[in-house]
Amino acid sequence: MVTGIASCCLGGYRDDVSEGFQPGGRAPAPPPLDLVQDFVNTEIPEWARDDIATPGLLESWLRGRGLLSDDEGVDAASFVAARELRSALRALALLNTLGRRPPDRALDELRRALRDISLGVEPAADGRLAVVGAGAGAQRALAAIVAVVVEGQASGSWPRLKACRQETCGWVFFDASRNASSTWCSMSVCGSRAKSASYRRRRKASS
């Protein structure tokens, strides 16, 4: 059966997605929050593509972000931890979209993802104390991503980082709208297919 997903998006923008691409003409999250956005968006469920699907790919991704030096690699434990962290951060971003507090299940997932994460504190150029990733190698790189979340929660920018409420999409976008009320990555893609799905349901129910 052809669904709204197939007709509007499958094989759509993911194949030619370039670095920095955002659906709906949105601007990417401002730095450093864009690091978290890009990390979670290494996977979009409906495109069945995962940019960090192997330890080697994760290593290149982290190195490309300046989070790993040339002589550091990704071990099996860090690879598993990265995937747990990505999943937990997507769940948190979805809670931002839905305006809900995390259920126990989400908190447990988050606890698991954070169990080997260590953070440190360093003075920034302006004298402010900044939270930074601690530890070594890939664990430090993952901790650096978590540090951005901590800083974003402290500064108030974090609630604007949202996962698209269309569950097969889940794209993490930065909601720059005045009242921070966006819930779809793109109104014209996921917003309209959600509307047509509910239209189809109503029609079916009334027929």
Judged by DSSP in three states, 7 sits in helix
Please, which residue, 89 or 190, has the CB nearer to Zn ion? 190
The distance of closest approach from Cβ of residue 193 to Zn ion in the complex, given in angstroms and rounded to an integer, is 9
Nearer to Zn ion, 139 or 166 (CB): 166
94 touches Zn ion by CB under 5 A: no
Q: Which residues pair with 34 in a beta bridge?
A: none
Which of 9-17, 72-80, 184-192, 193-201 is the region at the interface with Zn ion (rule: CB under 5 A)? 184-192
Return the closest-CA partner of residue 62 out of 6, 128, 175, 142.
142
Write down the least CB distance from residue 9 to Zn ion, Å. 8
Q: Residue 88, interface with Zn ion (CB under 5 A)?
A: no
DSSP string, 59-102: HHHHHHTT-S-TT----HHHHHHHHHHHHHHHHHHHHHHHT-PP
72-80, 137-145, 175-183, 187-195 -> range binding Zn ion (CB under 5 A): 187-195
190 binds Zn ion (CB under 5 A): yes
Integer Cα distance of 123 and 146 in angstroms: 18
DSSP code, position 177: S
CB of 81 to Zn ion, least distance (A): 27
Residue with tokens 């901790």: 143
Tokens at residue 125, please? 């150029």
Nearer to Zn ion, 117 or 164 (CB): 164
CA distances from 98 to 30, 38, 78 (A): 21, 20, 30
Residue 74 makes contact with Zn ion by CB under 5 A: no
Closer to Zn ion at the Cβ: 8 or 106?
Answer: 8
Residues 142-181 within binding reach of Zn ion (CB under 5 A)? 164, 166, 169, 171
Q: Tell me the H-state helices in the chain.
A: 4-8, 33-40, 55-64, 76-98, 104-114, 137-155, 192-206
Q: Would you say 58 or 169 has its CB closer to Zn ion? A: 169
CB count, 10 Å around CB of 88?
Answer: 22
Minimum distance from residue 83 beta carbon to Zn ion (Å):
21
Bridge partners of residue 127, in order along the sequence: none
Smallest distance, Å, CB 170 to Zn ion? Answer: 7
Q: Which is nearer to Zn ion, 5 or 114 (CB)?
A: 5
Which spans of this chain sit near Zn ion (rule: CB under 5 A)? Answer: 164, 166, 169, 171, 185, 190
